[in-house]
């Protein structure tokens, strides 16, 4: 593979969730009907022990293989030009839990080839190759073919490797409000969050056709939902594009380490984690609503199950984590909020920051502090202490996707979402995919010696006298840029 300096991002497969560099892997491409890879064998023969070992291990999470496979006994099992793709077969049986017959039926696919820059049968865009170090689409014997994941042989999302990809893992007990939350989020963000999906049923996707999340009763692993997110740079007004992959884990599988290991294949490569907590399960809130309090024991187990899943061994998990208390509109009647206008504003509809084009970190901190204080006030401080013990970078949020309780107020009210965008935008910021705003007072000394302005505080130049001027400067920045931006502002003449 070509090496050097390339404008290349890691690729995340939206099916098996392996993360890899396309310039370090031998990329695979699915051929069209009737096309055959001549390197594949034409007669069936038994695998060697070495081939058997490779097939079993190559699907392991995070494992990177750079050796080229030139043959497989699976290529011999051809039916009308299609062959049994053993990588797909392994995906359908081990990841999707399909029966052997169903998995084999779906794994009968057209043949595939691996990329070879010197192969005469392969034609590709040389400029794309030079810029990124890989090519998304190639021509094989004159016919255009597109790439597939080298681990599981499912199709890769268009634009992978050219745009930054982020994986959002969504965790929450049943009825935590995940479906409504993501519907409200897409409505608020609008055209900046577009579904680009895949070939799977809409039932598997968060936003497809504006419907719903996967059913909470479906405990099998589900394909992810893939979105294109456009972040406008507040200074240049230019759009930056990101590929966001959302993956929901059924509530029944969230509270057990063993169940997570069987279904939550997305967690190890997560860019961000969203914990969704239903406050109506808390006895104090249920009483206010005139309901019988339910046990929130299962919700509490969420954090420990995830921690044990990672087998962190006493170390805090570094993945940015947003703990979201949903249905916050029902909290308005609690004395913690009702008697205090400064706190009550956090559970009122239409928060001003939902539509801002940047992340207000002071507001995020304020919401985090109020939410923590509220949990302690209703004797749920164990949530706070548990999160702080397990996660290195976490924030608490209060959101209301509807702004009202459909059970008690009916379902015909106007939707008035509150603070829905804040956890999402904070997680983007933590992954360097969103901007924050800052005002800084910069003091400079004017000496009339223009060439020495940048060095006045060093060596003998520090003794040169000059008039000091303090100026307030507003600027936008990503997380990784703050230190560099502050230094550049101080050095400007």
Q: In CATH, what number is assigned to the domain containing residue 270?
A: 3.40.50.300
Residues 71 and 41: their CA atoms lie apart, in Å, by 6
Give the model's confidence band at 76: pLDDT under 50 very low, under 70 low, under 90 confident, else very high.
Answer: very low
Give the domain range for residue 172: 164-430
Is the sign of the CA dihedral 239, 245, 250, 254 positive or negative?
A: negative
DSSP 316-349: PB-S-EEEEE--GGGGGGSHHHHT-HHHHGGGSS
Q: Is the pLDDT of residue 115 over 80?
A: yes
For 200, list phi and psi in degrees, rounded to 5: -85, 165
Q: Is the pLDDT of residue 94 over 50?
A: yes
Give the model's confidence band at 186: pLDDT under 50 very low, under 70 low, under 90 confident, else very high.
Answer: confident
Residue 163: which of 243, 258, 249 has the closest Cα? 243
Residues 135 and 118: their CA atoms lie apart, in Å, by 14
pLDDT per residue as tens digits for the range 397-414: 999 887 666 555 555 556
Let me know whether 96 and 210 are in one domain: no
Confirm whether 168 is domain-assigned. Answer: yes
Which pLDDT does position 113 carry in this prediction? 93
Q: Identify whether the C-beta of residue 396 lies closer than 8 Å to the C-beta of residue 372.
A: yes
Residue 458, classified by CB atoms within 10 Å of its CB into exposed (0-12), middle (13-18) or buried (19+), is exposed
Which pLDDT does position 343 carry in this prediction? 87
What is the residue whose two structure tokens read 């502002």? 489
Residue with the larger pLDDT of the pair 368 and 256? 368
Which pLDDT does position 452 carry in this prediction? 43
The number of beta carbons lying within 10 Å of the beta carbon of residue 218 is: 15
Least confident of 111-115, 335-339, 459-463, 489-493: 459-463
Q: Is the pLDDT of residue 451 over 70?
A: no
What is the residue whose two structure tokens read 């962190």? 312
Residues 430 and 11: their CA atoms lie apart, in Å, by 19
Let me know whether 72 and 124 are in one domain: yes
Let me know whether 423 and 360 are in one domain: yes
Q: For all residues of the chain together, what is the average pLDDT?
A: 78
Let me know whether 386 and 469 are in one domain: no
Which pLDDT does position 75 carry in this prediction? 34
Q: Packing angle between helix 421-430 and helix 361-377, nearest 10 degrees?
A: 120
Confirm whether 5 is domain-assigned. Answer: no
Strand 239-248 vs strand 164-172: parallel, antiparallel, or unpaired? parallel
Token duo for residue 223: 């394909």
Confirm whether 73 is domain-assigned. Answer: yes
Give the model's confidence band at 444: pLDDT under 50 very low, under 70 low, under 90 confident, else very high.
Answer: low
Chain centroid to CA 23: how far? 22
Domain boundary among 101, 120, 148: 148
Q: Is the pLDDT of residue 385 over 80?
A: yes
Confirm whether 7 is domain-assigned. Answer: no
Let me know whether 204 and 263 are in one domain: yes
Which pLDDT does position 417 carry in this prediction? 80
For 473, list phi and psi in degrees, rounded to 5: -125, 130
Let me know whether 46 and 65 are in one domain: yes
Query: Does the global pTM surpass 0.85?
Result: no
Residue 402: which of 388, 412, 392 has the closest Cα? 412
Give the model's confidence band at 310: pLDDT under 50 very low, under 70 low, under 90 confident, else very high.
Answer: confident
Half-sphere CA count of 83, side-chain side, radius 13 A? 27
SS3 310: helix
Give the model's confidence band at 212: pLDDT under 50 very low, under 70 low, under 90 confident, else very high.
Answer: very low
pLDDT per residue as tens digits for the range 257-296: 888 888 888 889 999 999 999 898 888 888 887 777 667 7
Sheet arrangement for strand 82-84: 78-79, 82-84, 108-109
Residue 3: which of 32, 19, 20, 25 has the closest Cα? 25
Residue 431, classified by CB atoms within 10 Å of its CB into exposed (0-12), middle (13-18) or buried (19+), is buried
Structural domain count, the chain: 3
């Amino acid at each position: 593979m070509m090496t050097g300096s390339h404008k290349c991002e890691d690729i995340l497969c939206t099916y098996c969730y392996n993360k890899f560099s396309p310039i370090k892997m031998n990329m695979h491409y699915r051929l069209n009907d009737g096309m055959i890879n001549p390197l594949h064998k034409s007669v069936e023969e038994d695998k060697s022990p070495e081939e058997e070992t490779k097939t079993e291990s190559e699907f392991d999470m995070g494992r990177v293989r750079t050796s080229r496979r030139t043959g497989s006994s699976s290529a011999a099992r051809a039916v009308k030009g299609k062959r049994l793709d053993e990588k797909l077969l392994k995906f359908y049986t081990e990841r999707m839990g399909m029966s052997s017959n169903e998995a084999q039926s779906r794994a009968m696919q057209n043949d595939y080839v691996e990329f070879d820059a010197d192969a005469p049968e392969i034609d590709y865009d040389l400029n794309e190759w030079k810029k990124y170090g890989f090519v998304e689409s190639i021509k094989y014997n004159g016919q255009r073919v597109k790439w597939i994941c080298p681990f599981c042989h499912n199709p890769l999302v268009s634009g992978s490797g050219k745009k930054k990809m982020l994986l959002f893992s969504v965790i929450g007990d049943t009825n935590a409000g995940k479906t409504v939350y993501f519907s409200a989020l897409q409505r608020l963000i609008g055209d900046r969050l577009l579904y680009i999906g895949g070939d799977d049923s809409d039932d598997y996707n968060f936003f497809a056709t504006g419907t719903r999340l996967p059913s909470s009763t479906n405990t099998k692993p589900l394909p992810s939902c893939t979105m294109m997110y456009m972040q406008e740079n507040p200074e240049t007004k230019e759009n930056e594009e990101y590929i966001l992959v959302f993956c929901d884990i059924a509530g029944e599988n969230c509270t057990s380490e063993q169940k997570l290991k069987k279904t939550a294949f997305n967690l190890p490569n997560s860019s961000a984690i969203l914990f969704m907590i239903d406050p109506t399960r808390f006895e104090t809130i249920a009483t206010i609503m005139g309901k019988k309090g339910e046990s929130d024991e299962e919700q509490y187990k969420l954090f420990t199950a995830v921690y044990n899943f990672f087998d962190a061994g006493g170390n805090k998990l570094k993945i940015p984590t947003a703990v979201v208390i949903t249905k916050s509109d029902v909290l308005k009647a609690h004395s913690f909020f009702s008697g205090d206008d400064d706190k009550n504003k956090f559970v009122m509809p239409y928060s001003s920051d939902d539509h801002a084009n940047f992340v207000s970190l002071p507001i995020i901190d304020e919401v985090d502090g109020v939410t923590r204080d509220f949990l302690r006030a209703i004797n749920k401080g164990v949530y706070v202490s548990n999160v702080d013990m397990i996660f290195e970078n976490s924030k608490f949020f209060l959101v209301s996707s509807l702004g009202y309780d459909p059970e008690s107020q009916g379902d015909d009210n106007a939707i008035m979402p509150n603070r829905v965008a804040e956890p999402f935008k904070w997680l983007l910021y933590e992954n360097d995919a969103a901007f924050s705003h800052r005002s800084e007072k910069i003091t400079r000394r004017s000496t009339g010696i223009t060439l020495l302005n940048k060095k006045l505080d060093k060596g003998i130049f520090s003794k040169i006298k000059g008039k000091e001027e303090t100026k307030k400067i507003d600027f936008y920045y990503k997380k990784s840029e703050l230190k560099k931006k502050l230094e550049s502002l101080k050095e400007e003449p």
